[in-house]
Amino acid sequence: MKNIKGFKVAAALCTVLVTASCSTSPKGDGTLTFVETDADNTLTVCHFDQVKNTIDINLSDLVEEFKIVRFENSDSAFFKGYGLCITDHYIGIRQSNNLPFLLFTHDGKLKCQVGAIGNGPEEYNQSIYDEVINEKTKEIYLASFAFLPKILVYNTDGKFVREIVTKEKLSKPKIEVDNDGDITIIHMPFENNKEKFLAAVYDKDGSFKQELKPTPNFLQKDFNQDIFAYHNVPGFSFWLSSCDTLFHYDKNANKIHPKFKMDFGGVSEIPLHIYNELPDYYLTAMLGGKGVIAVNKEKQTSNYAKLINDFFGHMEAPIFNFSNGWFYQMNEPGWLIAQIEKRLAESSCSDEDRKQLKELLDTIDTEDNNILFMGKLK
């Protein structure tokens, strides 16, 4: 088994076969190794113990526009817990605790509740795990947490349209819809399921097109693992925590490619972490307040990184919060007041920043609905 600076290739690829050489680019900073897995793909490996420096990244370097959205204060518009799906005109809110999916416009107005909670054929009786808002077809796709062999489709008025029936019950599914309306599903396949697939593609009418069977390393015994997909890059970028490698699913070739992996070397305990991918960066969030490592794809460098919102007061922003091609920062009013006051107390806060911060601060009421900062990725 070949080692790369203390890192076992076979473990990194989660038993996906690789056939090629490893190299460290002279252009890089020495924290990265590149593994050519085949003629069309290279796996980037970041060596955790070699990442030392911290850099600031301006939000304006990543997004082309920035908006502040204040959600309306009607009783029906307040939401609990959230997952966000932002598109050019809509903001979808995936609520926790089996509450219905909500659709807002960019001015913060509630457009509709999408579907309803229940056990009927057009309803969902559990939390939504992933969603797609397709503005072209004016449709919303909702994938439930588990146990259902279907994806529910609604229109942007919240009315049920159809369901896409899958070959097996889905487990923590992640979904994408392309310009032709094809829906791609990646989920956690279980050992005891009859019809096992890792990835499957259905057309816009729900007809089966293809599937990718899982290799044994992807099979699960229980729900202790998670699957993550943030939908920020072309191609289906995802990672399954039991494999600890960021993959791309190539729908045209019906295969997966390993794209990114952290090498934790000889650390006594691997920190809990999550991967995300942006057009220009691989991001690894170390949970427990240990920071986020950003790998610059073009410069081939790795650093701990802080995101600075230079659109609004140069406040520090959550660098990992990118999904569906948008930056997001959801702010509960009381928390936002505290963060603005903290920034105002810093000596580095300029007069221009102070003016901007105070203008918003004077308008916030702690009884208001949430305030969203968001920006579209370049």
Distance CA 82, CA 254 (A): 32
pTM: 0.91
Q: 3-state SS string over the chain?
A: CCEECCEEHHHHCCCCCCCCCEECCCCCCCCEEEEEEECCEEEEEEEHHHCCCEEEEEHHHCECCCEEEECCCCHHHCCCCCEEEECCCEEEEECCCCCCEEEEECCCCEEEEECCECCCCCCECCCEEEEEEECCCCEEEEEECEEEEEEEEEECCCCEEEEEEEEEEEECCEEEECCCCCEEEECCCECCCCCCCCEEEECCCCCEEEEECCCHHHCECCCCCCEECCCCCCCEEEEECCCCCEEEEECCCCEEEEEEEEECCCCCCCCCEEEEECCCEEEEEECCCCEEEEEECCCCEEEEEEEEECCCCCEEECCCCEECCEEEEEECHHHHHHHHHHHHCCCCCCHHHHHHHHHHHCCCCCCCCCEEEEEEEC
Q: How confident is the model at residue 183 (pLDDT cuts 50, 70, 90)?
A: very high
pLDDT, the chain, mean:
91
Domain of 198, CATH number, reads 2.120.10.30
Mean pLDDT of 85-100: 93
Mean pLDDT of 127-141: 95
Distance CA 78, CA 216 (A): 44
Q: What is the pLDDT of residue 98?
A: 82
Distance CA 122, CA 28 (A): 53
Q: What is the pLDDT of residue 1?
A: 30
pLDDT at 24 over 60: no
Total domain count, the chain: 1
The per-residue pLDDT for range 188-240, each reduced to its tens digit, is 999 988 889 999 999 999 999 999 999 999 999 999 999 999 999 999 999 99
Name the least confident of 2-6, 76-80, 348-352: 2-6
Domain, as residue range, for 346: 3-376
Share of the chain above pLDDT 90, in %: 83
Alpha-carbon dihedral 101, 106, 109, 113, rounded to 10 degrees: -20
Distance CA 142, CA 3 (A): 42
Distance CA 329, CA 292 (A): 16
Q: What is the pLDDT of residue 27?
A: 59
Q: How confident is the model at residue 139 (pLDDT cuts 50, 70, 90)?
A: very high
